[in-house]
Amino acid sequence: MSEILSTKEETRDSSSTQSKPVLHAHNLTKVYKTGEVEVKALDGVDFQVFEHEMVVLLGESGSGKSTLLNILGGLDVATSGEVYFKDRLISSDSKGLLTSFRREHVGFVFQFYNLIPSLTALENVALVTEIAKNPIKPEEALDLVGLLPRKDHFPGQLSGGEQQRVAIARAIAKQPEILLCDEPTGALDHQTGILVLEAIEQVNRELGTATVVITHNTSVGGIADRVVTLRDGKVSDIQSNSNRLSPSELKW
Ligand SMILES: Nc1ncnc2c1ncn2[C@@H]1O[C@H](COP(=O)(O)OP(=O)(O)OP(=O)(O)O)[C@@H](O)[C@H]1O
pLDDT for residue 231 is more than 50: yes
**Strand, coil or helix: what is 109?**
strand
Ligand 1 binding pocket includes 34 (Cβ within 6 Å) = yes
pLDDT for residue 139 is more than 50: yes
pLDDT reported for residue 68: 98
User: What pLDDT, in 10s, does the model give residues 149-197?
Assistant: 999 999 999 999 999 999 999 999 999 999 999 999 998 988 899 999 9
Ligand 1: atom nearest CA of 67 is 18
Nearest CA residue ID for atom 17, ligand 1: 66
**What is the rounded CA–CA span in Å between residue 166 and residue 176?**
16
The average confidence (pLDDT) of the chain is 91
- Average pLDDT rounded to a whole number, residues 77-86: 96
Q: Which band of pLDDT confidence, cut at 50, 70 and 90, is reported for residue 103?
A: very high
Contacting residues for 229 by C-beta, under 8 A, at least 6 apart: 57, 58, 59, 235, 236, 237, 238, 239
DSSP state of 233: T
Report the percentage of the chain scoring pLDDT > 90.
86
Q: Are 146 and 178 in contact (CB under 8 A)?
A: no
Nearest CA residue ID for atom 2, ligand 1: 32
Ligand 1 binding pocket includes 59 (Cβ within 6 Å) = yes
Ligand 1: atom nearest CA of 230 is 21
**What is the rounded CA–CA span in Å between residue 191 and residue 183?**
15
The DSSP annotation for 178-225 comes to: EEEEESTTTTS-HHHHHHHHHHHHHHHHHH--EEEEE-S-GGGGGG-S
**Strand, coil or helix: what is 27?**
strand
Q: Determine the topology of domain 3-8+21-249 in CATH.
A: Rossmann fold (3.40.50)
pLDDT: is 156 or 131 the higher one? 156
pLDDT for residue 240 is more than 90: yes
Burial 23-35 (b: 16+ CB within 10 A, else e): bbbbebebeeeee
The pairing of beta strand 80-85 with beta strand 88-89: antiparallel
pLDDT for residue 213 is more than 50: yes
- Average pLDDT rounded to a whole number, residues 106-132: 95
> How do the domains of the chain map onto residue ranges?
3-8+21-249
Report the percentage of the chain scoring pLDDT > 70.
92
Interface confidence, given as ipTM, is 0.97
pLDDT for residue 5 is more than 50: no
Beta sheet of 80-85, edge-to-edge order: 37-50, 21-34, 80-85, 88-89
Q: Which band of pLDDT confidence, cut at 50, 70 and 90, is reported for residue 251?
A: confident
- Ligand 1 binding pocket mutation candidate from 34, 42, 43, 63 (most atoms within 8 A of CB): 63
pLDDT for residue 214 is more than 70: yes
pLDDT reported for residue 6: 39
**What is the rounded CA–CA span in Å between residue 58 and residue 114?**
24
